[in-house]
Amino acid sequence: MLTTLIAIATVAVSFLCFRDGQLFDKLSLRPYRMVRHGEWHRIVTHGFVHADWVHLFVNMFTFWSFGEYIEQVFAYLGFGGWAFLALYFGGMAAASVSDVVRYRNNPAYASIGASGAVSAVLFSAIFLNPWDKILLFAVIPIPGIIFGLLYLAYCQYMARRGGDNINHSAHFYGAVFGFIFPAILHPQLIRAFLSHF
């Protein structure tokens, strides 16, 4: 239910921003404006803005693929919707921290997209079922834990290399947050995770 509502809101806001450059700018992550002008709402609003339909589709498809499952697990554990919202928006915030620190004095820097939050949801699913298959490049099934390690290594490599206009550090920090979130929420899950190995 929350997955559906967040996805609908994200598609709607992204669509509006495709047509309104001023709204796009007001909602994007701009560390300089956040620090200098107190526009801290951007730590959440940037996750509802996407560069184009492909960016939006990839994020929402991945979110949809894992979001409802995570909602069900959290409900089964007795945590309900608040835990899912904490995961999603916490992942979004965690993905933004390094950018806010690094680019706080750069008025030209901006970042958009739900990738940090979506990575958090995906990596919570990997933590809960590390050997479940995930499709690499949407066609090659590999265990989630292997996918996760490759994903993190790729994010780190690309964040250092740069040059492709993708915020790889947001993907990385969102993923790390999502992986540890279930263990913080319910520490007994650490034993369950380790039992898979």
Q: Provide the residue type at 176 as one letter.
A: V
Q: Does residue 136 carry a pLDDT above 90?
A: no
Burial of 177 (0-12, 13-18, 19+ CB in 10 A): buried
Q: Does residue 165 carry a pLDDT above 90?
A: no
Structure tokens at 117: 């939050």
Burial of 159 (0-12, 13-18, 19+ CB in 10 A): middle
Residue numbers of the domain that contains 108: 2-194
In which region does residue 109 sit, left (phi positive, over 0), alpha (psi from -120 to 50) or beta (all else)? beta
> What is the distance between the alpha carbons of residues 14 and 9, in angstroms, rounded to a whole number?
8
Q: Provide the residue type at 91 as one letter.
A: G
Give me the CATH number covering residue 87. 1.20.1540.10
Q: Model pTM?
A: 0.93
Structure tokens at 55: 């960016």
> What is the distance between the alpha carbons of residues 110 and 26, in angstroms, rounded to a whole number?
11
Structure tokens at 21: 């450059």
Q: Does residue 166 carry a pLDDT above 90?
A: no
| pLDDT score at 47 | 97
What does the pLDDT average to over 157-161? 89
Count how many domains the chain has. Answer: 1
Question: What does the pLDDT look like over 167-185, one tens digit per residue?
Answer: 989 999 999 999 999 999 9
What does the pLDDT average to over 2-22? 97
